[in-house]
Amino acid sequence: VDKAVKAALIAFPAWRDMGVKARVEVLFRFKSLAEANLKELTYLVVKEHGKNRGEAEAEVLKGIETVSWATGLPDLLAGRILEVSRGVHCQEVKRPLGVVASIVPFNFPAMVPLWTLPIALGCGNCLIMKPSEKVPLTLMRFAELLHEAGLPKGVFSIVHGAQAVAKGLAEHPGIAALSFVGSSRVADLLDKTARAGGKRSLCTGLSAKNHRIAMPDCDEEMTISDIMNSAFGSAGQRCMAASVLLVVGKGRKAFIENLVAKAKSLKAGQERDD
């Protein structure tokens, strides 16, 4: 962790001063390379995570969408000057934080890293990312594509490991901000560690308890299909998966029996499945 932070601190001034237009040009090239290597990236997600091909490809494409959005940062980062009173003007200037870190989970090895990677880099920060130790390959391929796209050395680094590495990122004084996607329990521990280390910012995406309500006048077959997709898609390994169901009305017993029968008929997907 310390080596990655030192490399990022060295790279930061030049990357910050490069200007947002030049930084976004790197993201444009990275986006094109990711699209050109879609089949390989999909294959990596399938092999290291176990998703079927259709879900893996959809995940990679969703991540590339975020890169596309980040290429619009020149407009979003433009400052402004406001006349707040007669003869009094306020100037808004947006500046990068410096070296930032991101800890990402196992369930979406392509999409979730791309929630933070292009935006942090496009805004002028240097980023250190820790993938789940279970699924490091897709992110490593992203790093190779970023290098091919012209990203300077030290601007983006990957650190591998489990709890000790995550703790190291949270407490390192050279890291200005931390992003984490994962469980609420771990987030609470990281929050305490990060704030004790003087972090200015902590952004978290945490676990959820997602409720579904089936009303008496619902279309039963369509509602059950939606519940099945929500609860069991990606084998339920996603933060928005349905985990609580409330069935309202006199027909709830038959509704639940129908749902259970369909759930029992589910089969695990194969790699080749779309």
Given a cut of 90, is residue 175 above it in pLDDT? yes
Of the listed 90, 126, 218, 239, which one is catalytic?
A: 239
Q: Which residues lie below 8 Å from residue 118, measured CB to CB, with a gap of 6+?
A: 27, 30, 66, 67, 69, 70, 71
Given a cut of 70, is residue 273 above it in pLDDT? no
The DSSP letter of residue 82 is: E
Task: Note whether 145 and 67 are within 8 A (CB).
Answer: no
* Three-state SS at 181: strand
Task: Supply the pLDDT for residue 151.
Answer: 98
Tell me the whole-structure pTM to 2 decimals: 0.87
Sign (positive or negative) of CA dihedral 159, 154, 109, 102: positive
Q: Where are the domains of the chain?
A: 2-74+93-205, 210-264
pLDDT tens-place string over residues 139-160: 999 999 999 999 999 999 999 9
Task: Supply the pLDDT for residue 271.
Answer: 66
pLDDT tens-place string over residues 22-61: 999 999 999 999 999 999 999 999 999 998 899 999 999 9
Which residue has better confidence, 210 or 140?
Answer: 140
Report the distance separating Cα 29 and Cα 148, nearest Å.
Answer: 8
pLDDT tens-place string over residues 76-125: 888 788 888 888 989 888 899 999 999 999 999 999 999 999 999 999 99
Task: Note whether 15 and 23 are within 8 A (CB).
Answer: yes
| DSSP per residue, 37-58 | THHHHHHHHHHHH---HHHHHH
Report the distance separating Cα 62 and Cα 76, nearest Å.
Answer: 21
pLDDT tens-place string over residues 15-25: 999 999 999 99
Which residue has better confidence, 201 or 228?
Answer: 228
pLDDT tens-place string over residues 216-272: 999 999 999 999 989 998 887 888 888 899 999 888 899 999 999 999 998 887 766
At CA 40, angle to CA 38 and CA 46, rounded to 5? 100
> Does the domain formed by 2-74+93-205 have CATH 3.40.50.920?
no
Chain Cα centroid distance, residue 208: 16
Note if 123 is an active site residue.
no
Residue with tokens 């499945």: 273
